[in-house]
Structure 1
Amino acid sequence: MEDQNASSGFGKNFRKVKPYLAMVSLQFGYSGMYIITMVSFKHGMSHWVLSVYRHIVATLIMAPIAFFLERKIRPKMTLPVFLRLAVLGFVEPVLDQNLYNMGMKNTSTTFASATVNVLPAITFIMALIFRLETVNLRKIHSVAKVIGTAVTVSGAMVMTLYKGPALQFAKGQATHHESGSTTQPSEQNWVLGTVMLLASCGGWASFFILQSFTLKMYPAELSVTAWICFLGIFEGSIATLIFERDMSVWSIGIDSRLLACVYSGLVCSGMAYYVQGVVTRERGPVFVTSFSPLCMIITAALGSIVLAEQVYMGSVIGAIIIVSGLYTVVWGKSKDNVNKSEAEKREGQELPIKDSTASGSDIFDGIEINVPTGAGKNVVASPRT
């Protein structure tokens, strides 16, 4: 009996932490994609072609899984649902990914990765507009969500604007950094790149919001993921043919470019869309995007270890601030879930009926209840006037 109770308790605790583990793991996946993608760009990979190929890989993997695992629970496809899926296939696979890559080329990798950290704030504001999130300034956990979002953005700005002294974690970092320096973009390109990055964050936030509404109409996460990847292939191909006139960009070899397509398609399109959809249904889009700042921290750490990139004091301070804001947002969201569960339990309980054999009735506002009396007759309790 004790073993069963312990097993039951472990399973319950594991279910509570699963969304957190899923989102943290996803940030590691995105960080790996960031490094692999940058290497592929240096070998001449077109970001338009990469977007198409990664979703071909994702479709080949996710479509069969969705077909077999959700064949009994998959709802009937309707035109409104298909149109939403078509928009999702354009917003994230085409618009967001390509705007981000173009913005990164016009600014810098550090600035681009830091800009993504405004995603939780944009998503939070959009969720408030579409009433997916509520804020009650009289509740501490609601205030915590607002403060945590502001702190997270502040930490991202610190990492972007404050450089500070260099920190030596490994030998040869400074030499690698100096030899790997490149020409800074012009001021005009920097402004254009910043606009592209912010537009990319807006597109990504819109994807989460629309995905949340779509899953309510079509509650099949695997099928939604497969459809998004499938439609993204056609929409991305049209955009590639418009902006890339040289057909040689479609050819890739067995090198970092192929690795970037397979890795990003499997981890960051197929698995990511599915995991984000599941967690979005359970916790909401703000919870999902609140973990995005971790990606920058993980990427900086991996870049320092794997690529021997230089780490500065500003990045460390910003990372600490980001983690603090992230914890505050997650704490506020956890209290939201507790309150929601308690409300659902109260709604599910039956109205208590007081047995009053003396009067033979019990009175509730606006409700008629038949209460058996001791004599075996029924007395109808009329609404209070």
Structure 2
Amino acid sequence: MELWSLTNLLPFMGMVVVILSQVTVLQVMKAAMSEGKNKFTIMVYSNVLSIFVLLVSCLIKHRSDRPPPLNFSIICKFFLLSLIGCLMQIFSYVGIEYSSPTLATAMSNLVPAFTFILAIVFSQAKSIGTIVAIVGAFVITFYKGPLLLKTLSPKSNWILGGFFLASDALLSSAWYILQALILRNFTSVLVLMLFTAFFGTILATIFTLIIVGDSSAWNLKPDIGLVAVIYTAIVGSLFQSSLGAWCLSKKGPIYVTTFKPLAIVLSVVIGFLFLGDALSLGSLIGAIIIVAGFYSVMWGKAKEENTIEHSDIGSLKSSAGEKVPLLNNKIDRIIDV
């Protein structure tokens, strides 16, 4: 019952929305690229729009209370977070251009693996689940197998795309951990995302001006390119990034990253139905392996938290009446769990 309490249920539901947002943003971006739209100019325009969306949200959220004070150290951390985020966007968009959103969501399952490694994995169930998720991601990347359902067959380079997407996954792990560290001392999620979008827009604009030589790539028309800009800014920034940051502040980076495998099934279905991605045997096998790894990780994490909780309760009972400060500390730990 504690597992499904309101404290745990809200972050769980929030992460489901975050994953759905992530998948649809990738699908819309892939559709825009397939129509010849420049991925980097879309990135710049969506970041600019994100600034206005987040600014309005911050003004509404903090109209009655002030956000935490800013200092030079916090701003430097914001900039570092923006730099990592900008590189993540670049690698992600290049990766899905060479491959597909299906591969992108599959390779994002390396994020919890990298995060577990960085955080030092103690649970055997989580270790096995992490290894299984990595195997599934590599199966989807390097083994396509016979086509099970055939639609359009666009030119692609899945190996190169997989490399960029794996790099994105590694950066994402560092991004989640750094964001969690920042949110320990700076609790305003919207202000954090606003500064991240601001610095990210500057970095993305400089990069795009250097890389994109065709001035016509900056033209916006009422087509899929404009839809990608608006959808990425609103859904990607307001829902995916901000809601993801809130869940991160509540449950930590490991909890957030373990939801990545849930994206693969939805991505396969949407990619096949709407973007013409081919459904191969390798994709199906890899998806099954990844989902199995995900539930192994979640089962191991739930069992670990339950064990810790019962251990703390037992310790509370045995030490009741002996040391009141110790008793209070134990209770605080149980509430945090």
TM-score by length of 1: 0.74
**Which residue pairs with 1:181 in the alignment?**
153
Q: Aligned partners of 1:353, 1:17: CA distance in 2, in Å? A: 34
Give the C-alpha shift of residue 167 in structure 1.
3.5
Deviations 1:57-80 (A, max 9, x none): 222112222233235252100111
Equivalent in 184, 204, 207 of residue 175 of structure 2: 207
Question: Structure 2: which amino acid aligns with 1:78?
Answer: N
**Which residue pairs with 2:43 in the alignment?**
51
**Which residue pairs with 1:83 in the alignment?**
76
The structure with the larger Rg is 1
**Which residue pairs with 2:286 in the alignment?**
318
Question: Structure 2: which amino acid aligns with 1:181?
Answer: S
Question: Structure 1: which amino acid aligns with 2:142?
Answer: L
Equivalent in 119, 123, 127 of residue 119 of structure 2: 127
Tell me if structure 1 keeps the 8 A contact 2:110–2:169. yes
Question: Structure 2: which amino acid aligns with 1:158?
Answer: V
Deviations 1:3-28 (A, max 9, x none): xxxxxx99x73442222222222222
Question: Structure 1: which amino acid aligns with 2:62?
Answer: E
Tell me if structure 2 keeps the 8 A contact 1:62–1:226. yes
Tell me if structure 2 keeps the 8 A contact 1:293–1:322. yes
Q: Which runs of 5+ in 2 are unaligned?
A: 327-337
Q: Aligned partners of 1:344, 1:239: CA distance in 2, in Å? A: 51
Q: Aligned partners of 2:314, 2:62: CA distance in 1, in Å? A: 32
Q: Aligned partners of 2:203, 2:303: CA distance in 1, in Å? A: 40
Question: Structure 1: which amino acid aligns with 2:21?
Answer: G
Q: Aligned partners of 2:28, 2:273: CA distance in 1, in Å? A: 14
Alignment identity in percent? 28
Q: Aligned partners of 1:28, 1:16: CA distance in 2, in Å? A: 19
The secondary structure found in structure 2 opposite 1:145 is: helix
The secondary structure found in structure 2 opposite 1:163 is: coil
Query: Structure 1 pair 124/18, CA: closer, same or farther in 2 (3 Å)?
Result: same
TM-score by length of 2: 0.84
Tell me if structure 2 keeps the 8 A contact 1:73–1:220. no
Equivalent in 222, 226, 230 of residue 262 of structure 1: 230
Cα root mean square deviation, aligned: 3.1
Tell me if structure 2 keeps the 8 A contact 1:90–1:236. no
Matched, 1:66 2:38: no
Give the C-alpha shift of residue 44 in structure 1.
2.6
Structure with bigger helix share is: 2
Q: Aligned partners of 2:60, 2:309: CA distance in 1, in Å? A: 32
Equivalent in 125, 133, 143 of residue 152 of structure 1: 133
**Which residue pairs with 1:330 in the alignment?**
298
Query: Structure 1 pair 342/263, CA: closer, same or farther in 2 (3 Å)?
Result: farther
Query: Structure 1 pair 182/277, CA: closer, same or farther in 2 (3 Å)?
Result: closer
Deviations 1:49-106 (A, max 9, x none): 12222122222112222233235252100111111111111211x2111122223334
Count of residue pairs brought into register by the alignment: 323
Equivalent in 218, 221, 225 of residue 250 of structure 1: 218
Tell me if structure 2 keeps the 8 A contact 1:70–1:220. no
Q: Aligned partners of 2:311, 2:205: CA distance in 1, in Å? A: 47
After TM superposition, the structure 1 = structure 2 runs for residues 91-106 of structure 1, keeping only pairs within 5 Å, are 91-92=84-85, 94-106=86-98
Question: Structure 1: which amino acid aligns with 2:10?
Answer: K
The secondary structure found in structure 2 opposite 1:167 is: strand
Q: Aligned partners of 1:266, 1:330: CA distance in 2, in Å? A: 30
Tell me if structure 2 keeps the 8 A contact 1:103–1:193. yes
**Which residue pairs with 1:383 in the alignment?**
none
Q: Aligned partners of 1:342, 1:73: CA distance in 2, in Å? A: 39
